[in-house]
Amino acid sequence: MTPIWTAPAIARAVGGTASADFAATGVAFDSREVGEGDLFVALTGESTDGHRFLDQAFAQGAAGAIVSADTPHPHVRAADTFAALEDLARAARARVAGKVIGVTGSVGKTSTKEALFAALNRSPSRRAHRSVKSYNNHTGVPLSLARMPADSDYAVLEMGMNHPGELAHLTTLVRPHVAMITAIAPAHTEFFPDEGAIADAKGEIFRGLEPGGTAIVPFDSPHRDRLIGHARPHAGTIVTFGMDRAADVHPLELAPAPTGGTFVTARLGARELSFTVSQPGDHWVSNALAVLAAVDAVGGDLALAGLALGELGGLPGRGARRTVALAGGEAMLIDESYNANPASMRATLKVLAREPGRHVAVLGEMREMGDKADRYHAGLAEPIVEARVEALVLVGEAMTHLAAALEGRVDFVHVPDAASALDHARRLIAPGDAVLVKGSNGVGLSRVVAGLAGGHR
- Indicate the annotated binding residues for ATP: 105-111
Question: Are 189 and 370 within 8 A, CB to CB?
Answer: yes
* 449: DSSP letter: H
Q: Could you list the residues known to form a binding site, using ranges.
A: 105-111
Q: Where are the alpha helices (DSSP H) in 223-298?
A: 224-231, 282-297
Helices 282-297 and 109-121 meet at what angle, rounded to 10? 50
- Other beta carbons less than 10 A from residue 235's beta carbon: 22
* Three-state DSSP class for residue 95: helix
**Residue environment code for 329-343, b if the CB has 16+ CB neighbours within 10 A, otherwise e:** eebbbbbbbbbbbbb
Beta strands across the sheet bearing 26-28? 17-18, 75-77, 64-67, 38-41, 26-28
Q: How far, in Å, CA of 23 to CA of 62, rounded?
A: 10
Q: How far, in Å, CA of 337 to CA of 436, rounded?
A: 9
- Give the CB-side neighbour count of residue 146, counting CA atoms within 13 A: 32
Length in residues, the chain:
457
Question: Are 378 and 451 within 8 A, CB to CB?
Answer: no
Helices 302-311 and 109-121 meet at what angle, rounded to 10? 120
